[in-house]
Structure 1
Amino acid sequence: MSVHLENVCKTFRLQGASKTIAHNITLDIPQGRSIALLGRNGTGKSSLLQMIAGAIQPDSGEIVSQGSVSWPVGFQGSFHRDLTGAQNAKFLARVYGVETRELLDFVADFAELGAHFHQPVRTYSSGMRSRLGFACSMGIHFDVYLVDEVTAVGDAAFKRKSEALFMNRLQSSGALFVSHSMPSIRRVCDAGAVLENGRLQFFDDVEEAINRHERNMLVR
């Protein structure tokens, strides 16, 4: 099970200006590997995750998924704002074909939302929405997880709990992991890919990827 990107290109155009976030990107995300996706703010990391998830279409190239791929965990547009957290979880259970009661029980316990679980998502804080999204995604066993900064949410105990669960899922799944926390990346990831000026460079060693990213950050 894996995700394969082949010559993927994407340019956004707004008010006469254009920004290329993907230029002939080719990448494999095999099951069982966690790849750090590194890059400056605004390089297009979140957009790349949304392309892999199918929420944004590339201008050209191909993205082929063999197995199930999560939505971008941490992406705030994942839920219907007028439904409660519980109703959103029920909807996801139906979409992904998992047992509804099982997912509801898992999310209610893990997300620690209390009575808010039965309130509309539009009343949630950003952190609450992220915790709901993380719990829903971890409650569904995907072959590849797309994770965008979500383990940074919550207090220290919740962060530890989230990271431990994520590491457990990685025993049988692959991941593309976006984070600005190098300690988190070192704990979670075993490889890295650096996005710069629309080009993605893969490193089999996560330390090499971090070193390249940090050198890029020194160049204005």
Structure 2
Amino acid sequence: MRQRVVADLSGLPISGERHSSPSWWGTLAFMLIEGTGFALAIGIYLYLAALAPAWPPVMPPDLAAGTGVTLVLLASLLPNALLSRWTDAQDLRRVRLGLLVMLGFGLVPLLLRILEFGALNLRWDDGAHGSIIWFLLGLHTAHLLSDLVETAVLAALMFTRHADNPRRFGDVRDEVVYWYFVVATWLPIYGCIYWAPRL
């Protein structure tokens, strides 16, 4: 007769802090995979620029909308840092407020991005240059949009009766880290699209 070993795990916590949490590792792995995608796309941009007899082949994009997105993203770092602090303190009222503020900071760049696509001075099918520029912007736009949806879901959850527990605060902490990633990935793209052609 086979013997079964059974352990009572009911005493284990439902969530862990930072690196002891599976969702933290999942977020880290996602950022590494997506960061590799961004690096490859920027590498393609630089490769095409190195091969072209003249780069860019059209007038560089207008700076206003792209710079507006950059300034909004940089300004969002302060409320994101505050949200991180409030999450560590498990201050539910302030975390709710911080998530609502970050919803605004997630929405504004998307609205500016609409203007930004119009200010590129080229279409997505204008050769390799147009394709890679639109791909870079589209890739980052997808991350802005997915982060906005995730922030909205977390904000909604934090206004339910299930909000005040360590697991939910851990989810918000992961979201804070991911927003830093979204901002950090935009800066080299902004440099490639807007400033490299002007150097």
Higher helix share: 2
Computing the radius of gyration over CA atoms, which structure comes out larger, 1 or 2? 2
RCO comparison, higher one (Cα < 8 Å, 6+) = 2
- Which bin holds the TM-score, normalised by the shorter protein? under 0.3
**TM-score for both structures, normalised by structure 1:** 0.22
Higher strand share: 1
